[in-house]
A and B are shown apart, each in its own frame.
Chain A
Amino acid sequence: MEYRLKIDDTIIPVKVEGTDTDTMTLSFDGKAKNVEYSRISDHQIHLIIDGVGIQAFIAGESDEKTVILRGVPYEVSDADLSEQVRKGKRGPAAIPQEVTPPMPSIVVRILVAEGDRVKTGDAVIVVTAMKMESTLTAPYDGIVTKIHVVEGDKVMPGEILADIEKDEERPTEEEDGLADS
Chain B
Amino acid sequence: MNTKTTIRNKGQGMFTKILVANRGEIARRIMNTCREMGITTVALYSDADRSAVHVLGADQALCLGDAEPAASYLNIDKIIAAARETGAEAIHPGYGFLAENPDFAERCEKEGLVFIGPPSRVIRELGDKTIARQTMIKSGVPVIPGMNRPESDPEVLAREAEMIGYPVLIKAVAGGGGKGMRVVATADELHDACISASSEASGAFGNGSIYLEKYLTRARHIEFQILADNEGNIVHLLERECSIQRRHQKIIEETPSPAMTPGLRKEMGDAAIAAAQVSGYVNAGTVEFLLDENGRFYFLEVNTRLQVEHPITEMTTGIDIVRYQLEIAAGHPLPITQEEIKGRGHAIECRIYAEDPENDFFPSPGKIVFTKEPSGPGIRNDCGIYSGFQVPVEYDPILSKLIVAAEGREEAVNRMIEALREYVILGVRTPIPFLIDVLRSEAFRKGETFTDFIGCHFPDWKPERADAETAAIAYIIDELAGKKERPVAADREGVYSSPWQTLGNWRNG
Contact = CB atoms under 8 A, between A and B. Distances in A.
Given A41-B484, A68-B424, A71-B432, A146 B509 contact: yes
A159 B307 CA distance: 36
A157 interface: yes
A76 B505 CA distance: 27
A37 B480 CA distance: 11
A152 interface: no
B509 A71 contact: no
A170 B484 CA distance: 44
B468 A160 contact: no
A104 B426 contact: no
B474 A58 contact: yes
Contact of B506 (A3, A103, A130, A164): A164
B353 to A, nearest CB: 14
A44 B481 CA distance: 11
Interface stretch (A4-12, A82-90, A171-179): A4-12
Interface string B451-473: 00000000000011101111111
B469 A12 contact: yes
B503 interface: yes
B467 A69 contact: yes
Given A35-B477, A47-B473, A68-B424, A12 B505 contact: no
B131 to A, nearest CB: 37
Given A47-B474, A93-B496, A97-B497, A19 B507 contact: no
Interface in A151-165: 156-165
A56 B504 CA distance: 32
Interface string A20-63: 00001010100001010101011111010100001011110110
B57 interface: no
B480 A33 contact: no
B481 A37 contact: yes
Nearest to B468: A7
Contacts of A161: 505-506
B477 A166 contact: no
Contacts of A47: 470, 473-474, 477
B478 interface: yes
Contact of A145 (B369, B482, B509): B509
B369 A102 contact: no
Q: Interface extent on B, as a size class?
A: 35 or more
Given A33-B469, A102-B366, A159 B505 contact: yes
A39 B478 CA distance: 8
Contacts of A62: 479
Contacts of A28: 469, 472
A10 B467 CA distance: 13
Interface in B255-275: none
Interface in A118-161: 130-131, 136, 138-139, 142-143, 145-146, 156-161
A99 B471 contact: no
Given A102-B366, A130-B362, A157-B393, A57 B471 contact: no
Contact of B478 (A45, A72, A74): A45
Contacts of B509: 142-143, 145-146, 163-166
Contacts of B505: 99-100, 136, 158-162
Contacts of A16: 476, 480
Q: Which of B365, B464, B479 has the most CB of A within 10 A?
A: B479
A180 interface: no
A24 B477 CA distance: 9
A110 interface: no
A171 to B, nearest CB: 13
Main secondary structure of the interface of B (DSSP, over half): mixed
B421 interface: yes
A109 B406 CA distance: 53
Contact of A162 (B423, B478, B506): B506
Nearest to A31: B469
B247 interface: no
A71 B402 CA distance: 14
Q: Interface extent on A, as a size class?
A: 35 or more
Q: Which of B356, B475, B504, B505 has the most CB of A within 10 A?
A: B505
Given A33-B469, A97-B495, A139 B475 contact: no
B219 interface: no
A3 B479 CA distance: 11
A131 B358 CA distance: 10
Contact of A57 (B426, B482, B497): B426
B477 A12 contact: no
A18 interface: no
A7 B372 CA distance: 24
A157 B308 CA distance: 29
B436 A71 contact: yes
B426 A5 contact: no
Contacts of B393: 104, 156-157
Interface in A67-116: 67-74, 76, 78, 93, 97-100, 102-104
Contact of B483 (A42, A100, A166): A42
Nearest to A56: B474
Nearest to B492: A93
B119 interface: no
Given A71-B421, A163-B507, A163-B508, A5 B472 contact: yes
Contacts of A97: 494-497, 501-502, 504
B465 A59 contact: no
A100 to B, nearest CB: 5
B12 interface: no
B467 A72 contact: yes
A90 to B, nearest CB: 13
A59 to B, nearest CB: 4
Given A7-B468, A47-B473, A73-B433, 9 more contacts: A12-B472, A35-B477, A68-B426, A70-B421, A97-B495, A99-B506, A130-B356, A139-B502, A164-B507
8 nearest A-B residue pairs (beta carbon): A165-B509, A56-B474, A99-B504, A74-B471, A145-B509, A43-B370, A59-B426, A71-B421
17 contacts: A5-B475, A10-B468, A37-B481, A41-B370, A44-B424, A56-B478, A62-B479, A66-B426, A70-B421, A72-B436, A74-B467, A97-B497, A99-B504, A99-B506, A103-B366, A136-B505, A139-B504
